[in-house]
Structure 1
């Protein structure tokens, strides 16, 4: 396994490395039988599905760092599995589905969310320990204090002398970025280039691409694309059908450059002119509709054409959502607007009001792209 030293402690180099190790050692760590991993069901992707010796289904969600939304994720997985009930020949759905969250540490919000969630969710905290010669994964059940430990066959990733420093071209690009973008890009670059010795950085007139060379047969993993204003956009090579397919394509990623991210759609090359235009148009409409909904003195309240257009947009986007298609950040924000605040109805019944509390983890998506890249080599 790939391990990396951070300060005085060790951790798995990527979330995919953590998942690989837990999957291979489910019996030793939890007494469970592996069933499926990265399993797609009803629009959700579960990290690991496993069984106990009585065919009870166990869902494990793993994080290699802090995440405040793991309870919400497990709740959605539970709902999807209960609704579809897949793999019925192997799973006894008469027994309750067990949910397990595995993280290096739990934020206080995780405990608050679990406190008011009616599902039973077990918290397991893990640490990578070193005794100078060997490395171990220690997992502690935070509810009963039980501890298990297993040795980790490892490849040290403490030193990064083989990773070239950022080029002058990249640093010139970063001078036009915000501090969050600057830090995020360098952090992702470090993660990608330290993942595998075959990973290379290739520059172009519009950005920087990462893969095993720049030949026709090369496989790519990630790209930083800088638009005409110098604004960076991340592309990752992920699965089609909202990352549920084994077929890989170049996916455009929205991010707040902190931890939240969103797969917005697929762009084979370039920036995605059509998507860019749609995002700009919808961003303006979101601004107008928010003002119309929440400001009674808005100049737009007498111009019903904006409301009519809004309902048309909502219907189109809702169809995409129902078909489990990727939504852009602006499409999500448009669906979140409270239509009950509008001065007039349109088209009969008012549509649903959506709330998107969950976003993907930016670095989790990078980890997934790295794992997909490795599988394709």
Structure 2
């Protein structure tokens, strides 16, 4: 963890560092099961969602400094979760939602707000203790007469203070409201990583696009962009090397992801969403669907089948050439090459086709890290 010294005491360098530590130690600190981080629901972003063994939901809001409005924040989270009731397969909403506030110190206004509040909210105060060589995270429950709850060692590195990561803009939050929870979580996680990487990082918003780099001029350098298409679907662009990220020359690369950590560099788009690539991907997606239907019907001899197989041969030959030349393939191109039609090739005619199996995907987090390092070198 990243710690900084302030006077005679120690603190986490950023609120993100505090969140990382609590998330990694939820079991030891509170006996909780981690569920979601930076979870977006109904216009609100919850720091941590966790579960008790009986599937009771616990919401944790963390502050790395004194804050007067933490009770109001937790109230809004409670309302959003009760209204939407997300993740119902994992959470038992028949049980009351538990609310926890964690801070190094509480303002007197926090206690006044809590005193006249209808919802039960637990206040936990933490301290970082240090001896000659080790650092410890100690947390006490202020509602149990300052009873010490836990004391855990912090594995750390000292670090100069960084500015706190700015909260998402209203524009970005409005866009995220139309996304799935997986997309919301991944985008916010990448955003946090980007801002934590370098204090020179800025967010440049322009309608449907949110770019990250050092300003917005002709000499600006960018590394990451979230672009929302006409249907509100988010697309990630990273500034990576040409020739499938093997060249030192940098260009804006369109990234496919399953929003669960897997990713592909699909190609390069200078500006916008890449209308030609989008059209091509949609066309191939339809052909993949048709070919899967033909496979399911064992290559029945209908006009549609013959016409599709002829197109399938042309598509595969073209995609195979790209593969042999180490050019990037779109997700749909991979799908097309994975379809095995050899079982009924004698019915529909034509020679046997090589069937490819693509088990390897890039790590989305790894590609983001590469883009960040390349950005810093360009600066």
Relative to the length of structure 2, the TM-score reads 0.59
Question: Could you say which residue in structure 1 is the equivalent of 2:159?
Answer: 155
Distance 1:314 1:208 in 2: 36
Q: Within the alignment, does 1:7 sit opposite 2:31 as a pair?
A: no
CA distance in 1, matches of 2:132, 2:313: 63
Structure 2 counterparts to residues 242-281 of structure 1, below 5 A: 242-281=244-283
Using the TM superposition, give the Cα deviation of residue 293 of structure 1 relative to its aligned residue in structure 2, in angstroms: 1.0
**Residues 1-377 of structure 1 aligned to structure 2 (within 5 Å):** 4=17, 6-7=20-21, 154-155=158-159, 162-296=164-298, 303-344=305-346, 349-377=351-379
Rounded to whole Å, the distance in 2 between the matches of 1:286 and 1:295 is 14
Question: Is contact 2:237-2:252 (8 Å) kept?
Answer: yes
- The question of whether the paired residues in 2 share the 8 Å contact of 1:294 and 1:341 is answered with no
Alpha-carbon distance in 1 for matches of 2:160, 2:182? 29
Q: Matches of 1:272 and 1:244 in 2, distance apart?
A: 22
Query: What does the per-residue CA deviation read over 1:21-67, in whole Å, with 9 as the maximum and x for residues that have no partner?
Result: xxxxxxxxxxxxxxxxxxxxxxxxxxxxxxxxxxxxxxxxxxxxxxx
* Uncovered stretches (5+) of structure 1, i.e. residues with no partner: 11-129, 137-150
Q: 1:266 to 1:219 in 2, by over 3 A?
A: same
Contact kept in structure 2, 1:240 and 1:247, CA below 8 Å: yes
Instruction: Tell me by how many angstroms 1:156 deviates.
Output: 6.2
* Number of residue-to-residue matches in the alignment: 243
CA-to-aligned-CA distance 1:258-293 (integer Å, 9 cap, x gap): 110000000010100110000000000001001101
- Structure 2 counterpart SS, 1:316: helix
Give the RMSD, CA atoms, in angstroms.
3.0
**1:303 aligned counterpart, secondary structure:** helix
Aligned residues of 1:308 and 1:346 also touching (Cα < 8 A): no
Residue 325 of structure 1, CA deviation: 0.1
Pick closer, same or farther for the CA change 1:376–1:2 going to 2, 3 Å. farther
CA distance in 2, matches of 1:268, 1:211: 16
CA displacement at 1:179 relative to structure 2: 0.8
Whether contact under 8 Å (2:345, 2:351) holds in the other structure is no
Q: 1:336–1:353: 8 Å Cα contact kept in structure 2?
A: yes
The 8 Å contact of residues 299 and 344 in structure 2, kept in 1 or not, is answered as no
Residue deviations 1:310-343 (CA, integer Å, cap 9, x gap): 0100000000000000000000000000021345
Paired residues of 1:286 and 1:330 also in contact (CA < 8 A): yes
Larger radius of gyration: 2
